[in-house]
Chains A and B, each alone.
Chain A
Amino acid sequence: MSERADTTDPSRRGFLRRAVAAAAAVTIAPGISLVRLADARPPDQRVTDANRWGLLVDASKCADGCGACVDACNEENGLKGTGRPATDAQWIRTVRLRDKATGRETRMPYMCQHCEHPPCVDVCPTGASFRRADGIVLVDRHICIGCRYCMMACPYKARSFVHEDLTGQKPDVPRGKGCVESCTLCVQRVDAGDRSTACADACAKAGHRAIVFGDLKDPKSEIFDLLAKLPTRQIREDLDLNTGVRYHGV
């Protein structure tokens, strides 16, 4: 993980980091910071690959019967169920697994893995499915034609197709009938400088801290630290997709 030279003045950056660290020390609840980091990317600056956003999921902390991450995602992104689970959009879901040989059960949240080599991006005929420079895999719904080929291609069945007319969308999360969508790593929050996704926040609020969001390329980030300490894997690592979501305890 190389450090890229930043365009802002290093001394200013250093001051801001210390100021923010002090502010972070006075946050009111664990894992939730009211202060957005002041060195967030300015809105007129293009994203670069200096960051790579990802998640670390600790399945051993995923609690039975808990759906906080799913509810938070639905709330944040305006996903409303219609009582038809086969066609309703689900950007994150919890999956219970049982080892066929030992019978041991594990539970984990499962979403778009934000691969470095996404099959969904390879197969999209118009290029609507794409990987942003900072690692988030998105659908450009302006050019998505709704062919659903990316849904066939995804090894994680992460994508949903919007099967009916939608109303009451969140202004930050436009979505509509006829296009394909999936977990965006809360890109609207990331771009606003929030250092967390809705699911990670909710999981922390529920007291489990099974999901950690962060910059996989930042040696000072919590996720980087955890990845160095814990044994982790990718789901379907045999496909060599180099996912941005890593799992521990699966």
Chain B
Amino acid sequence: MSPLRTFFYGLVAALALAGAAGGAWAEGRTPLPTITKGKGDQCVEPTAVMRTDHMRFLLHQRDETVHGGIRTKRHSLKECIECHAARDATGKPMPVTAEGQFCQSCHSFAAVHLDCFSCHATTPDK
């Protein structure tokens, strides 16, 4: 086998090993998401639906709101935060982007960048 080919196969093998080792090491280091209980008995959609489709709802809603002035509450981001922002001991709402909080927790686990809150408020009105 030519030196180049040896090098190439060796590199692939080394990377595969490193990946497997890293994966084994990481398991148990990544904290599972903590889902704080929101207000009320249930969310506006079933949990399984929300898990897969919440971005689809939000993306559709945002266009309707911005361009059409439609401000229904069901899929409104503001209303999500209204229910899901946890409160600390004094009753003050905590930002949903803080460590371990509602949005941040799952997004950190799934390694999906949260872009919404560079603009949107992270706490509800009151």
Contacts and interface: CB of A to CB of B under 8 A. Distances in A.
Direct contact, A vs B (beta carbon within 8 Å): yes
A168 B123 CA distance: 8
Contacts of A178: 118
Interface in B60-92: 62-64, 66-73, 78, 81
Contact of A43 (B66, B70, B124): B70
A10 B73 CA distance: 27
A132 interface: yes
Nearest to A171: B121
Interface residues of B, number: 20
Count chain A CB atoms within 10 A of each CB in B63, B72, B81, B121 and give the residue with the most: B121
A142 interface: yes
B119 A169 contact: yes
Nearest to B76: A43
Contacts of A132: 67, 69
Nearest to A188: B71
A41 interface: yes
Contacts of A46: 64, 68-70
Nearest to A47: B69
B69 A134 contact: yes
Contacts of B64: 46
A177 to B, nearest CB: 6
Contacts of B123: 171
A170 B121 contact: yes
B61 to A, nearest CB: 11
Interface of A: 41, 43-47, 130, 132-134, 138, 140-142, 165-166, 168-172, 174-179, 187, 191-192
21 contacts: A43-B70, A44-B70, A46-B70, A47-B69, A133-B68, A134-B69, A138-B66, A140-B66, A141-B119, A142-B62, A166-B119, A169-B120, A169-B121, A171-B120, A171-B123, A171-B124, A171-B125, A174-B121, A176-B118, A176-B119, A191-B71
Given A45-B70, A132-B69, A169-B119, 16 more contacts: A44-B70, A46-B70, A47-B68, A47-B69, A138-B66, A140-B66, A140-B67, A141-B119, A165-B118, A166-B118, A171-B123, A171-B125, A174-B119, A175-B119, A176-B119, A187-B69
